[in-house]
Structure formats: structure tokens, C-alpha cells
Structure 1
Amino acid sequence: MNRWLENETKLTSIFAGISIVSLILSITGVLKDILSVDIAWIAIILCGMPILVGAINGVVFEHDIKADVLVAMALIASVVTGEYFAAGEVALIMQIGSILEDYTSGKAREGIEKLIRLTPQKAHLITTGEEKDIPSEDVKVGDRIRVLAGETIPVDGIIVEGETTIDQSVMTGESIPVDKKCGDKVSSGTVNQFGTFVMKAEKESGDSALQRMIRLAQEAEENKAPIVTLADKWATWLVVIAFACAIGTWAFTGEFMRAVTVLVVFCPCAFILATPTAVLAGIGNAAKYGMIIRSGDALERLSKIKRVAFDKTGTLTYGKPHVAEVVTLDEDYSRTEIFRIAASAEKRSEHPLGRAIVAGCKVDLYDITDFKVIAGRGIKAQVIGKSVLAGKADFMKSERVDLSIATNQVSTFLNNGATVIYLAINGKMRGFIALADIIREDAAATIKKLVEHGVTPMLLTGDNEQAAGAISQKAGIKDVRANLLPEEKMEIIGDYAGSKEPICMIGDGVNDALALTAADAGIAMGGIGSDIAIESADAVLVSDDIKRIPYLLSLTKKAMQKVKTNIIMSMMINITAVILSATGILTPVTGALWHNFGSVFVVVNAALLLRYKDE
């Protein structure tokens, strides 16, 4: 019985299949002379009992009248009058609706659990004369922790020994790792990419930035109220009207069977099928174009969106540093030669910026010797017999390289959000390479189409103002918010969520999970997006094709229009059936068949949505 109440899709599907066979045998009368009872009882028990128990549970224990109550009334009335086929047929239709609804509901989100699994399980505690591993939750404020290369930082703290480069994309979404030195703060959940450093814990594990993200995500999920179906919203009134019509028919005609027929045809089969059939068709259409909508509730929320908030890195951009420009500062070195020497020097580097320089160079590289990495600062190498330095400004200054020759040109790139790697040859500045995250080709066209459809775009990013401004200008977004932590993104989203201007968040990283969960609807980039972002979202772009976003929003609106059409038509068909039943034209069996015309209509009308095409 418990499994019936849960309406598990597989079990319900099996029961529905058996019920279909029993109803066919019942209406044909094949086993009439063999069995002592109508075989339609199989459908009544398998499909009707869960409805009956659900209705009783709702009224008695939850003190709530739902659509199940009206269906249960029709079932009981049909059984009492001996119309077993009508009872079984009504029960079957309702369970088919349940199957469709379960199918469109999607799997439960796992984003919060995956956030929890990001938390490091251990920390290397440094005590007097020894170092030992302890559970990360046992770290106390003031403890000295050693973090090795490739490890996730266990708690929030400050570096007290060593230099390194930290991948902060989990918390800020920055595409380019950040160099850290003594005195710099580091956050739990971020990744140490190079070398080893010692940090002093400033917060315990439970108070860390990552744990705060987990708590906020849990609260946002709990506060997102489920959407109640229209049939359940109106169930109380439908029950009252159905009883009034049935009693009125009995009172005026004196025929109990007409009253029973009214109850049977008043059963809102088509009304309840109206939503799941259109939602299923909408989800199927979206899947054809590489978009996964996770549930019917998600589709409904997406249909109401008036504002879209984009993350920058990995959403409007490709999420990786690319060579934007190579500049030579010495006439003895061509642009191509500067690029070749820099790429040759960096070819043994494991730093993302070094790898980006190597990947961007399309000519054969020189052999190198005496390669050395200065963690978090730059590299040294001998290239074709020349001493080469490549790195950031502070590294060059520490090596007594004069940067004044590059100041004016470099400032232009820095103001546009690029990262600059300087190149010195034999102790003299010879050129530099600007790296930046590149905007997606379809970004500007996508933003333009959204605006044409009456949707307001905005940019929310953890990146700096220069990088955010450069990308937003190219994309055509006027509302820009930069330097945001995950909870700050969430707060901005919360200002719009549930308002007259419902908001959709579009992101790809762990740092977007809070905003995706808090928004009225969330869309994740499926190809490069993190598992946590994908699980926190209501829809996923499988191939990261952002130009599909306007179509997705348009499709969901179309699906909800189908729902409204289905509801209006099903109600008109039901009203007609009530009139025909009250006048005696329809019997319980013919009434059941008639009102199923509404069910057929909503299914066919919803199926037409599958033909809707992207422009």
C-alpha cells in the first residue's frame, strides 16, 4: 500500500498495463460466463485503490481536499451502481496521468550532496616537532596547516609560509588562477595548484566559506515552494460543484443513475492530464535541441522569466585563458619571434597561463635548458642560448627588469580585463603577451534576441570590474555586477526571485550553485559546467549552446499556453457531459467514454508541441 501511495512510476506502469487488459476483456465480455465477477475489478483495485487511499489520507490526516477526492467520488458511485467498467476506466485514466507526472518530475537534485563532498576530509596539522593528519572538522582557529600541491584547502585562513597559485573558480568563478604569497587569504574549497605552503586557520571548518555555501543552498532549496497543480488548487470547489450538480439532478429527475453519471463525467481526467501531457511534449521538444528540462515545475517557472542573470566565466565566455595579443617592444624581435620564444620558455610549465601561451603558438618551438619555476611568479629558462624570464610585473621587478617601456601599452590591456605576461630576454624587456577569456561567438546575438523578447539581461561575476566590463560591452549587457562572492550573487538573485520580474540564473561553476538554486529558475552549461551547477539547475544546455536560451524560454511559454488551452477545452467538454448526463442522454458507461474525448483532445493538442521548431 505504501508503494501505491508513492506512485512509483515502474509499479504504476505495470498496474496500468494489467488494467488495460482487464478493461478490454470486461467491455468485450469474453470472460463473462467464466468468471463470477467482472474482470474490471482488477483495474479498480490496481489503479483505483491508490486514488481512494490518497483521497482519504488527504482529507483525514492532511485536512486538504485534492483532485483525488473527486475521482474517488466517481469511483465509489460507479461501483455502488454496478458500473464496474466505468469505475476501472476512470481509475486507469488517472493513473496514466500519474505516470506522466512522475516522468516529468525528473530525478531529485544532488547538488547539495556534491557540495558536501567537496569538503576536504583531512588536514595536515603542524604541531611542535611533528606533523599529523587530522579530520578537517577538527581544525581550530590558529592551527598551522600545511597544504600540498593539488590539494583542496580545508578551512579559511592566511598564508604564513610559501608562495603558490590558487584555483579560486569554485568560489569566485575566475577563469585565471590567482597568485598568493605570505599574508594573503585563502578559502576552503579552493585548490592549491603549485608548490607547498603553510597557512594559519582563521575559521573552523563549520564556519568556512564552503560550509556557508552548503547551508545557504539547503535553505534556498527548502524555501522554494513546490508548484501546486491547477486541479488540486480548484479541487475543493470542484467537489462542491460536482455534489451540487449530482444532487440537483437527482432532486429534479428522481433518477439516481443520472446523478451517478454526473459524478462520473465530472471526474477531471482531461483536466488533470492537461498539464503533464503538455509538459512532457515540451520536455521532449527541448531534448531534440540539446536542452534538458528537469521537471514540470521547472518548465512552468522558466515560462514566467522576465530577467536573466548570466555568469561570465564559462557562460558568456569559454572559461579558459586564450592569447588575446602579442606585443613586441624591440624592433630586433618580431611579434612572431616574441611569441615563439615565450612559448618555448613556457613549454614545461604547468601553469594555466603558460599552457595557454604554448597552445596558442602555431610554430615549432625552440629547445630549452635550465628551466626553473618560481612558484606563483614566473619562470626562467635558457632559449637558443639566451636568458629568458616570463612572468608578472612583480617577478620582473624582483629580477631588476625595467618595465617602464611597456607601461603605456600594458595599461590598455589591463583596463580591458586581460592578464599580462612580460617577456625579458638577457635582462631587458622585449615584449609581452596579453591573455584573456574570450567571449562566445553567439553571446551578443543571444543577448539581443532576449531583449527583443522582453527579457532583461544582467551580468553577475566574481571576476574583477575590468574583465566584467570588457565582456559585458561586447555582449551588450548594461547591468553589470562584479567582484561578487557566491552568497552575494545569491542575495542579488533573491531580490528578484518571487517578484513581478521572475529571474533566471545561467551559470556553469560551483560558485553559481547558490544563485542557480535561489533563482526562480536556473540554467546550467552541461558541457563544461560542474556537476554541482548542473544538479542545482532546472535546465541544462548539453552542448553549452547559449543561442538556444531564447528558444528555451519561448518553448516553455508555448507549453504553458498549451496547458491553458487544454484546461479550457477539457472544462467545456466536461460541462457538456454534465448537461447530457443530467438530461439522461448519457449513462455511466457512455458518459465515461464521452468525457474521455477530452482526454484524447489534450493528448493530441499537447503532441502538436513536438512539431514546434527553433528559428
Structure 2
Amino acid sequence: MHSISNNKALLKLYAVALVFAVLIYCGTGDLIRAFTALLAFSPYAFVHAKPMAVSAAAGWLTAHGIRIRTSATLEQLSHMENIAFTTGAIAPTGTMQTDAPQLMDKLRRMGMHPVLLPPIGTSDAAQLAAQAGIRDIRTALPPSNDPFAVSTAYIQGSTDNRSASEKACLHIVLGSSAASDADIICASDDLSQLPLLLRTAHQLRQKIEQNAIFGYTMNFIGIGLAAVGILSPFGGALWHAASTALILLNTESLHLAQVYEKKFAFSKAV
């Protein structure tokens, strides 16, 4: 399905390039300029850079015991503004993680608003929230189409009605607590994985947005240079190669940043 979507996007971009080539020929009467515009246009890397970045990010998370359900999951996570915890996620064995307040502060600095979602009638919800450093307590999320619910990552712990095979895991649902399947599953119920997950999602979104800017800018500048006769066919081919290389190198930098982060974390641990 993802490949079909990419092919459709590629065809649309080629159609745009052909339209511009026709307009250039109609406006200048110069077939070489129109041909050069087609050479300078580089849609392939622009379309495929996104799945490449997603694949790199997903592979990095898998190595850390975090699995995502679809290729769009991380990008969706990067748009979440709230992070809601059940009591099973905050205190899976009845005991709060000692670093929970520091973790909540870190999540706030990453732009997330922590929320505690205790079961209705829970008597110690305020105490749990205070221990975790959470200021917002809600008995339930609003309807799934409510703006708050749509922008919430819902964290369920290992004790939240899970089968034996799903124990000691974190199950994360994005956008609505009513979803039956988790969008993200962490192999451990250790909440310290959450900043890594969020940071990876934000880095991925940043690379996707950068590639969109680079792709559109380089392609349309190339078309413009070809239209006014500055680029020759050889120059158009070089422009195409440079545009492709820029996008692919920017995508690869996501992987390099993750490798550096791993080495840095290892050296700090030592």
C-alpha cells in the first residue's frame, strides 16, 4: 500500500514537471530549455526520502524494543500535545518509579502535557498524581473527536487488562483511548523509554519537513534556471543529482544522529 502511494505521488510530480516543460516551450519556443527543465526536476528522492527516514527511525526504535504499527505512526506521534497515563502505566506493580517526577518534567520540556487517568472511584488518584509530578487528573478522556483526545497519546501499562503475552509492556494509543489495537508497543514497562520515542518522532517529522522544503525549493529553482536559459542540459543533470544528494544526505543524517546519540549514551553510562 505504501509503495502504491509513493508511485502515485511520483506520477503526480512528473505530471507537474511535464506541465512546466510544456509551458516553458510555449513561452520560449526553445525545446532545449523545456528538456533541461525535465532534467533538473528531481522527484524520485523527494518522494522516497520520507519512507527511507521512517524505515531508519523504525529500525532504531525496534533495536530498543519499541514497535510501531504503521509507517504513519511516528509522524502522528510527533503531533501529539498531551500524554495521558493510566495508573497501571504509572505504577505497574503498585509502586511509583522513583524518577517519575523528573520524567514528567522532561516530557513537559519536550512540549507534552502529562495527564493521569485513574479508574472512576480511585481513592488515591491525587496521591499518585502528586508522587508522579502530574497536575492534571481526569477520570476519562473526552469523545474521540474532541480536540484534546485527538492530540493525546494514551499510555496503558502492563496491568491494564492485558493477556499474559502482553505483560510488562507499555501500550500506546494515539488520538483516542477507544482504539482496540496499540499504535506503539514498548517491550518494557519502563517509562524512561518515552523521551527516546518522542525525540525520534520529532526528529523524523523535522527531516520530513526539511526534505519537503529542500525538494520543492531545489526543483522549482532548477525549473526557473532552465526556463531563462541559465542551465544547459548538462547543468540540468548536475542540478538533478545535487538535489537528490541533498535530500538523501539529509535523510541519512537522521541515522547518523541516532548513532551519535547511542555512543553518547553509552559513554555517559560508562
Aligning the two structures, in what range does the TM-score lie when normalised by the shorter sequence?
0.7 to 0.9
Matched pairs, number: 250
Deviation string, structure 1 residues 296-316 (Cα, Å, up to 9, x no partner): 321111112211100111x11
61, 69, 73: which one pairs with 2:12? 69
74, 92, 117: which one pairs with 1:318? 92
Letter of the structure 1 residue corresponding to residue 86 of structure 2: D
Deviation of 1:560 (Å): 1.2
Matches within 5 A, 1:432-471: 437-462=94-119, 464-471=121-128
Closer/same/farther in 2, CA of residues 448 and 492 from structure 1, 3 Å limit: farther
Closer/same/farther in 2, CA of residues 555 and 563 from structure 1, 3 Å limit: same
SS at match of 1:558: helix
Output the aligned Cα RMSD.
Answer: 3.5
Q: Counterparts of 1:591 and 1:283 in 2: how far apart (Å)?
A: 35
Deviation string, structure 1 residues 466-491 (Cα, Å, up to 9, x no partner): 23233212111122234xxxxxx453
Deviation string, structure 1 residues 506-551 (Cα, Å, up to 9, x no partner): 11369689xxxxxxxxxxxx65249998972222222222112123
Closer/same/farther in 2, CA of residues 585 and 448 from structure 1, 3 Å limit: closer
Q: Counterparts of 1:529 and 1:494 in 2: how far apart (Å)?
A: 27
- Which residue does the alignment assign to 1:543? 188
Q: For the Cα contact (< 8 Å) 1:311–1:512, is it kept in 2?
A: no
Q: Counterparts of 1:532 and 1:456 in 2: how far apart (Å)?
A: 15
Closer/same/farther in 2, CA of residues 297 and 290 from structure 1, 3 Å limit: same
Closer/same/farther in 2, CA of residues 305 and 257 from structure 1, 3 Å limit: same
Q: For the Cα contact (< 8 Å) 2:58–2:68, is it kept in 1?
A: yes
Closer/same/farther in 2, CA of residues 463 and 252 from structure 1, 3 Å limit: closer
Q: Counterparts of 1:441 and 1:481 in 2: how far apart (Å)?
A: 23
Q: For the Cα contact (< 8 Å) 2:170–2:187, is it kept in 1?
A: no
25, 30, 34: which one pairs with 1:250? 25
- Which residue does the alignment assign to 2:57? 282
Structure 2: state its 5+ residue gaps. Answer: 174-178, 266-270
Q: For the Cα contact (< 8 Å) 1:249–1:259, is it kept in 2?
A: yes
Q: For the Cα contact (< 8 Å) 2:40–2:222, is it kept in 1?
A: yes
Matches within 5 A, 1:264-343: 264-313=39-88, 315-319=89-93
SS at match of 1:296: coil
Q: Counterparts of 2:105 and 2:2 in 1: how far apart (Å)?
A: 45
Deviation string, structure 1 residues 355-389 (Cα, Å, up to 9, x no partner): xxxxxxxxxxxxxxxxxxxxxxxxxxxxxxxxxxx
SS at match of 1:465: coil
Q: For the Cα contact (< 8 Å) 1:261–1:581, is it kept in 2?
A: yes
Deviation string, structure 1 residues 9-29 (Cα, Å, up to 9, x no partner): xxxxxxxxxxxxxxxxxxxxx
139, 157, 173: which one pairs with 1:508? 157
118, 123, 142: which one pairs with 1:491? 142
Deviation string, structure 1 residues 224-259 (Cα, Å, up to 9, x no partner): xxxxxxxxxxxxxxx3xx455323421344232432
Q: Counterparts of 2:143 and 2:100 in 1: how far apart (Å)?
A: 22
- Which residue does the alignment assign to 1:407? none
Q: Counterparts of 2:113 and 2:170 in 1: how far apart (Å)?
A: 26
- Which residue does the alignment assign to 1:528? 168
1:574 paired to 2:214 = no
Q: For the Cα contact (< 8 Å) 2:100–2:132, is it kept in 1?
A: yes
Deviation of 1:497 (Å): 3.0
SS at match of 1:438: coil
578, 589, 596: which one pairs with 2:241? 596
Closer/same/farther in 2, CA of residues 480 and 549 from structure 1, 3 Å limit: same
Structure 1: state its 5+ residue gaps. Answer: 9-49, 55-65, 74-238, 320-436, 483-488, 514-525
Deviation string, structure 1 residues 266-315 (Cα, Å, up to 9, x no partner): 352232134223322322333343322333321111112211100111x1
- Which residue does the alignment assign to 1:554? 199
Tell me the TM-score normalized by structure 1: 0.36
Q: Counterparts of 1:305 and 1:287 in 2: how far apart (Å)?
A: 21
Whose RCO is larger (CA < 8 A, sep 6+)? 2
Letter of the structure 2 residue corresponding to residue 497 of structure 1: A
Deviation of 1:494 (Å): 4.7
1:262 paired to 2:205 = no
Deviation of 1:318 (Å): 2.1
- Which residue does the alignment assign to 1:210? none
- Which residue does the alignment assign to 1:221? none
SS at match of 1:308: strand
- Which residue does the alignment assign to 2:136? 479
Letter of the structure 2 residue corresponding to residue 277 of structure 1: M
- Which residue does the alignment assign to 1:608? 253
Structure with bigger strand share is 1
Structure with bigger helix share is 2
Closer/same/farther in 2, CA of residues 595 and 305 from structure 1, 3 Å limit: same
Matches within 5 A, 1:179-194: none
Q: For the Cα contact (< 8 Å) 2:171–2:185, is it kept in 1?
A: no
Closer/same/farther in 2, CA of residues 586 and 246 from structure 1, 3 Å limit: same
Q: Counterparts of 2:170 and 2:230 in 1: how far apart (Å)?
A: 62
Deviation of 1:505 (Å): 0.6
Q: Counterparts of 1:551 and 1:465 in 2: how far apart (Å)?
A: 31
Deviation string, structure 1 residues 332-355 (Cα, Å, up to 9, x no partner): xxxxxxxxxxxxxxxxxxxxxxxx
